């Protein structure tokens, strides 16, 4: 489809084609709200007066449900306090999509949530990978997970053709799920699955696929993917 973003030519035709090939899914607004954090930052400039400071901002995508200004939220895994992760609770004070302020956000596209969080908690993308939801409605934080593993035939990202060998007991891995990454150690090799100890613990959304990498030639390389056997429940 010939288009011109500058002149706005045929943009409607592109949207129509997307709808025909990849129809917009039907959404259930009554599902429990979940939001995956892909960015977090402090929007306050140095030297700003205390009374003018704004709370931290978290950016990402609504996975399901909806969120609106004034909603109470919870963030997991949260803060590490005395060897234990404690969920963070706050309130949504603003919603934006690009430069457009919103009252309500639903799945589709990237949005930013202004909160009452201490900006120190959100600066420098410190909350990437955390999951946001209604207080008490988020999945459990996992320090161990059982995965049904599917290994690739060869290593991805290597200059040479390297065969992927089976996982080994006590092997160190890198797991990426959603926007979160964590270290893993294989603790048990079962018939159809493996049990991996996670450090740090994570709070993945349900039914997300785990990308699995191992150290090859001093770098982590993608070797396969895993599916949570217990579906995080």
Whole-number Å distance between alpha carbons of 17 and 21: 6
DSSP string, 67-127: EETT-EEEEEEEEEETTEEEEEEEEEEEEEETTEEESEE-SSS-EEEEESS-HHHHGGGTT
Q: What are phi and psi of 95, to 5 degrees?
A: -135, 135
Contacts of 113 (CB under 8 A, 6+ apart): 35, 57, 58, 59, 67, 73, 92, 94, 95, 105, 132
Length of the chain: 233
- Which tens digit of pLDDT belongs to each residue from 26-53? 888 789 999 999 999 999 998 888 888 9
List all residues 6 or more positions away from 116 whose beta carbon is below 8 Å from its beta carbon. Answer: 55, 90, 91, 93
SS3 state at 128? coil
Phi-psi group of 17: left, alpha or beta (phi > 0 → left; psi -120 to 50 → alpha; rest → beta): alpha
Tens of pLDDT, residue by residue over 92-148, are 999 999 889 999 999 988 999 999 999 999 999 999 999 999 999 999 999 999 999
Q: How much is the CA Rg of the chain, to the nearest whole Å?
A: 21
| pTM of full prediction above 0.75 | yes
* Average pLDDT for 66-92: 94
Rounded average pLDDT over 72-83: 93
Identify the bridge partners of residue 195 per DSSP, sorted by sequence position.
146, 188
């Amino acid at each position: 489809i010939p288009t011109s973003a500058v002149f706005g030519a045929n943009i409607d035709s592109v949207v129509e084609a997307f709808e025909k090939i990849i129809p917009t899914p039907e959404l259930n607004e009554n599902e429990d709200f979940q939001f995956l954090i892909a960015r977090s930052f402090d929007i306050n400039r140095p030297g700003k007066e205390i009374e003018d400071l704004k709370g931290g901002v978290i950016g990402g995508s609504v996975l399901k449900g909806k969120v609106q200004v004034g909603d109470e939220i919870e963030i997991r895994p949260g803060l590490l306090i005395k060897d234990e992760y404690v969920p963070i609770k706050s309130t949504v004070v603003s919603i934006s999509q690009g430069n457009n302020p919103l009252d309500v956000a639903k799945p589709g596209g990237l949005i930013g949530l202004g909160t009452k969080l201490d900006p120190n908690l959100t600066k420098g993308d410190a909350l990437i990978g955390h999951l946001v939801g209604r207080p008490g409605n988020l999945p459990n934080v996992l320090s161990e997970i059982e995965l049904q593993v599917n290994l690739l035939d060869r290593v991805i990202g290597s200059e040479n053709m390297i065969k992927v060998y089976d996982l080994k007991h006590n092997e160190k891995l890198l797991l990426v799920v959603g926007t979160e990454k964590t270290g893993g150690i294989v603790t048990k090799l079962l018939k159809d699955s493996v049990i991996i100890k996670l450090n740090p613990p994570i709070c993945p959304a349900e039914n997300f696929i785990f990308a699995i990498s191992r150290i090859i030639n001093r770098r982590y390389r993608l070797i396969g993917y895993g599916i949570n056997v217990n579906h995080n429940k």
